[in-house]
Chains A and B, each alone.
Chain A
Amino acid sequence: MELLEAIPKFFNYGFLINALIVGTLISLCASLLGVSLVLKRYAMIGDGLSHVGFRALAVATVLNWAPLAVSIPVVVVTAFLLLRLSERGKIKGDAAIALISAASLAIGVFLMSLSKGMNTDIDNYLFGSILALTQADVALSVVLSIAVIVVFLLFYHRIFAVTFDETYARATGLKAGLYNSVLALLTALTIVLGMRMMGALLISALIIFPALSSMWLCKRFSAVTVVAAIVSLGCFFVGLLVSFVYETPTGASIVIVNLTVFTVFYLIYKIKQM
């Protein structure tokens, strides 16, 4: 009841409306991309990229530059690098991601501490803050998120093909490398846009949880994609509301709601198996 009563009050706060707009779009983008990333076993790329994003934000903070202007190109370039390493690097993909992820986190924390000492900025970057979103962030998020969604829909069948069977896709002349790059680019943009609200440590959950939850119950790729999107949006709204009412961290609240849905879907799957 308390949660439902809080909904009208929700719209009295400008920063919450910003969070609602950005969060809705990011949740949708993350869930759409998440299905392919999880199935291609690239889920950890999201985690690695968010840590790289944290490092980029730290550098921007130290140099007093615009955070997104620094982090977007850095994360996009890293996404392509990780993709290449996963495909044919001498270091195995998971080890490369772990290496880049840990190094980026360490460099980020180090730079931030040199700049101002350990302060609340680090907490905000690591665990997210809805207060961190400016009008400019919102505008950029809307434009880029719409671009991510449109590109995903345009290439939906091709993304399915490279996700299901890349060998076959390549053999039939599909430019699998190009579509993997599109996937990496869209993921990088989603990570950068979402990490200020969700935090560097939690943004990858937005990619992984909805996809995994929907896979318990759906057997068609299209159904998995649609249900993942619905789950992601639902979990975001409930998580944001919980965060608002109980004054809990936004990113953590959204992830806990996602975890709850994942557990419920798993139990339904198990019951159906009996």
Chain B
Amino acid sequence: MTLISCENVTLSYDGNVAVEGVDCQIAAGDYLCIVGCNGSGKTTFIRGLLGLLKPVSGSIVFSDGLKRQDIGYLPQQSTVQKNFPASVREVVLSGRLSRLGISVVYRRQDKQAAREALELLQIADLEKSGFGELSGGQQQRVLLARALCAAPDGLKVLILDEPMNGLDAHAKTELYATISELNHKQGITVLMITHDVQAAIQHADRILVLEGKQEFYGDTHAFQHTALGRSMLRDSCGNNCAVCGIGLGDL
């Protein structure tokens, strides 16, 4: 069932067209990776999905009862100060801000939602820790918990903007596993911006390639057999792709 329909979407930033001609249908349960070079319009497209930018032309339509509040967002880690003096609890609770209304304090159900998000990501023991004391991987999990507890009736879509940046290999593996689990077990639709084409093919079931315009949209298996797919894989992993197990000469 389609959750988000993008039809010939063009988005501009500071008066310049950042990305154009995006046509894609994102269905419930999809795991979509958005790949492309720096400046290719990936983040601008995400901003369009989040309603922060209005399309110059084309349309972005939510269906199947999807509302803006059902979408969780994990921005690029660079937007957060690593040593910010805040507890994990304070950070995760801030995800409930849109539900605060006129109240000046968080209610019991907000605290419960924050606790459940921490438990789901297996970091409940970090609740009282300082955000600045955590490793990069743990910080990303905390920000993920903040995104998860934001939705009033359970998160339907999770948008992640380069969540693996700055993480070591071990932390990346763990975070990919967590995201896959959220997708498979919780049924959350995942949209992830990444530079890592290999990881996109390994984890996602659909891929959207942007280079100022839509270069490819479809399933990852089909993508590997396109000239663009072969070229991007060659660029990212040399002549043989160790991750996806495909010898590029065989493609």
Q: Please state if B85 and A215 are interface contacts (CB–CB under 8 Å).
A: yes
Q: Please state if B81 and A219 are interface contacts (CB–CB under 8 Å).
A: no
| Residues 104-153 (chain B) with a chain A CB within 8 angstroms | 104-106, 129-133, 143, 146, 150
What are 10 inter-chain pairs, A to B, with CB distance below 8 A? A39-B84, A165-B75, A167-B75, A168-B73, A168-B80, A168-B146, A172-B98, A219-B129, A219-B130, A219-B131
Chain B residue at minimal CB-CB distance from A220: B87
The 3 residue pairs across chains A and B that have the minimum distance between CB atoms? A219-B130, A167-B79, A220-B87
Contacts of B98 in A (CB 8 A): 172-174
Chain A residue at minimal CB-CB distance from B98: A172
Complex interface bits, B69-109 against A, C-beta within 8 A gives 1, otherwise 0 = 00001011001110011110011011101101000111000
Q: Please state if B106 and A221 are interface contacts (CB–CB under 8 Å).
A: no
Q: Please state if B100 and A157 are interface contacts (CB–CB under 8 Å).
A: yes
Number of A-B contacts (CB under 8 A): 82
Chain B residue at minimal CB-CB distance from A223: B85
Chain A residue at minimal CB-CB distance from B79: A167
Q: Please state if B87 and A221 are interface contacts (CB–CB under 8 Å).
A: yes
Q: Please state if B90 and A168 are interface contacts (CB–CB under 8 Å).
A: no
Q: Quick one: which of A167, A222, A223, A224 has the most chain B CB within 10 A? A: A167
Contacts of B100 in A (CB 8 A): 157-158
Contacts of B94 in A (CB 8 A): 157, 160-161, 164-165, 169
| Interface SS of chain A | helix
Query: Is A218 interfacial (CB-CB < 8 Å)?
Result: yes
A174 to B52 alpha-carbon distance, docked (Å): 11
Contacts of B90 in A (CB 8 A): 160, 220-222
Contacts of A170 in B (CB 8 A): 52
Q: Please state if B130 and A174 are interface contacts (CB–CB under 8 Å).
A: no
| Residues 133-187 (chain B) with a chain A CB within 8 angstroms | 133, 143, 146, 150
A172 to B79 alpha-carbon distance, docked (Å): 15
Complex interface bits, A41-63 against B, C-beta within 8 A gives 1, otherwise 0 = 00000000000000000000000
Query: Is B68 interfacial (CB-CB < 8 Å)?
Result: yes
Query: Is B50 interfacial (CB-CB < 8 Å)?
Result: yes
Q: Please state if A221 and B86 are interface contacts (CB–CB under 8 Å).
A: yes
Chain A residue at minimal CB-CB distance from B95: A172
Q: How many chain B residues have a CB neighbour from A under 8 Å?
A: 34
Q: Please state if A173 and B68 are interface contacts (CB–CB under 8 Å).
A: yes
Q: Please state if B73 and A220 are interface contacts (CB–CB under 8 Å).
A: no
A39 to B91 alpha-carbon distance, docked (Å): 15
Asked whether A165 and B50 contact (CB < 8 A) given A174-B98, A215-B85, A220-B130, the answer is no
A168 to B161 alpha-carbon distance, docked (Å): 11
Contacts of B68 in A (CB 8 A): 173
A158 to B93 alpha-carbon distance, docked (Å): 11
A224 to B80 alpha-carbon distance, docked (Å): 18
Name the distance in Å between B204's Cβ and chain A's nearest Cβ: 22
Q: Please state if B73 and A171 are interface contacts (CB–CB under 8 Å).
A: yes
Asked whether A164 and B91 contact (CB < 8 A) given A157-B100, A170-B52, the answer is yes
Q: Please state if B73 and A153 are interface contacts (CB–CB under 8 Å).
A: no
Contacts of A172 in B (CB 8 A): 73, 95, 97-98, 150
Chain A residue at minimal CB-CB distance from B43: A167
Query: Is A1 interfacial (CB-CB < 8 Å)?
Result: no
A157 to B79 alpha-carbon distance, docked (Å): 18
Asked whether A164 and B52 contact (CB < 8 A) given A171-B75, A220-B90, A222-B90, the answer is no
Q: Please state if A153 and B86 are interface contacts (CB–CB under 8 Å).
A: no
